[in-house]
Structure formats: structure tokens, C-alpha cells
Amino acid sequence: MCAHVLVAEDDEMQAELIRRSLLAEGHTATVVHDGGAALEAARRLGPDLLVLDLMLPVLDGFGVCRLLRRTHEDLPVLMLTARSDEEDLLLGLDIGADDYMTKPYSPRELMARIRTVLRRTGRTADGRRSDPAVRASGLEVDPVRHEVRCDGRPVECTPAEFEILLALVAEPERVFSRRQLLERTRGTDRASTERAVDVHIMNLRKKTEADPRRPVRLMTVFGVGYKLRGERG
């Protein structure tokens, strides 16, 4: 799959290394060096993926991601950060980042992560997803159109939220562990944290539950994980 990747990285040497690695993978790349330029380029170019450094001048990665999510819910965002504080990483996920990598990282590892994100948000050769829509508990998840509906109304989801909801709706009443849901959204990355799933579930409840504090669809199974209450159809 050839993708257009927008790279927002203020370290010019690092940005060039990422650009060359993307070209070697068969992708096209646009590179910018500050948050304002990243926001403008994302809106103007409509890339398939944004690789976003957290510590950008003008507007940091948190600000870029927060503003983009108001108008570009479906744009996958892979955040790069030199911070190892878990709270910072969870904040990035909470405002809409789909994945993150902690510096330093190898170009090979970054390309593998990019392939994973593109694969789960990508399309078949004819431009469509091949999986049929699934329905349960008033929710409809359509992988062909990459659309979600709740009781007939459209719901905007980030790619990671979409993949979690797809897994739950496809198998209602099945209890998924956090690790299982994490693997649906991030592959088998050993550096990821299962707490990220809690953030995604919290955001999905805000979008699909009448009262997110008292969910009736996306249920917590204490000590195990999460399930969707209801039946297919």
C-alpha cells in the first residue's frame, strides 16, 4: 500500500531520516518542522497518516492533535515523544493519537509501526475494505465505509477507537482482555500500555452511551477486561 505520510518533526536530521525511510518503503512524504505548518499541511493535503513529534515549536503535538480531531477524526496520528511519563502518553491517546513511539527508536521499528497503522486503516486494491458491516446492541460498524452508527446516528471515531469497537460489536458478550484489545489496535508492541485501552473505552462511552458513567453497552468485566452487552443483528 502506497501512502502519503505527513511528518512533523523539528529535528531536521531526524525528519530527513524518516522521509528517506518512507520513500524506501514506497510511500510519499511531506515534511514540516513546526506545529502550525503541520496543522495547515494536514488540512490542505489530507494525508493518510500523520507522524507527529510531541515537542514542536509554534504549536506542540498535543495542540496539533487536539485541533485536528475537531475536523479530521479519521486521520491516523502516530505520536513521537522523548517523554517516558505514562501520563503524557495517555494524554496523547486521550486527545486522539492512535499510537505513539518513545525516542530513541530505530527507523526499522518506526516503519514497522507505520505499516501496522496503515494496515489497520488501509483499503484493498479497489479502494474498499473487504469486511462486511457488523451490528449489535444498537451499534453498526461498517469496515467498508469506515463508518460507525449508534441508534442510527453517525459517530465519529479515531482509527484506534474504530478497531476496538469493531472487535466488540463483531463478538457481543465475549469478554476481551485489555491486551487482546490492544493487539487489535497496535499489533503486539511490547512497549505499549494496557491503560491505553481504558482511555479508548472511556472515549467510546462518551460517544455511544446516554450516560457514560452508567454504561449499558460497553461493559467493564472487573479483573478481566471489556465486553459489548447485547446480541448480533
Report pLDDT digits (tens) over 17-61. 999 999 888 888 899 999 999 999 998 888 889 999 999 999 999
Instruction: Give the whole-angstrom CA distance, residue 62 versus residue 67.
Output: 9
Judge whether 49 and 114 are in contact, CB under 8 Å: yes
pTM above 0.85, yes or no: no
User: Is the pLDDT reported for residue 98 higher than 70?
Assistant: yes
- According to DSSP, the β-strands at 225-228 and 176-177 are antiparallel
Is 144 in a helix, a strand, or coil?
coil
Q: What angle do CA 86, 201, 64 make, to 5 degrees?
A: 55
Identify the residue whose cell numbers are 505520510: 5
Domains in the chain (CATH in brackets) are 4-121 (3.40.50.2300), 134-228 (1.10.10.10)
Among 160, 186, 178, 10, smallest CA distance to 81 is for: 10
Give every CB contact of residue 186 below 8 A, 6+ residues apart in sequence: 99, 116, 160, 192, 196
pLDDT in tens, 122-171: 533 333 344 457 889 999 988 767 889 999 999 999 888 888 998 899 88
Query: Cα–chain-centroid distance for residue 9?
Result: 19
Instruction: Give the whole-angstrom CA distance, residue 93 versus residue 202.
Output: 11
pLDDT in tens, 183-204: 777 553 444 578 889 999 999 9
Amino acid at 151: D
| H helix runs in the chain, sequence order | 12-24, 35-45, 61-68, 86-94, 107-121, 159-170, 178-186, 195-208
Radius of gyration of the chain (CA): 17
pLDDT in tens, 64-90: 998 998 888 788 899 898 766 666 667
- Torsion angles phi and psi, residue 112, rounded to 5: -65, -40
Identify the residue whose cell numbers are 510519499: 28
User: In the predicted model, what is the mean pLDDT of residues 95-113?
Assistant: 85
Dig out the grid coordinates for 172 from the structure: 457481543
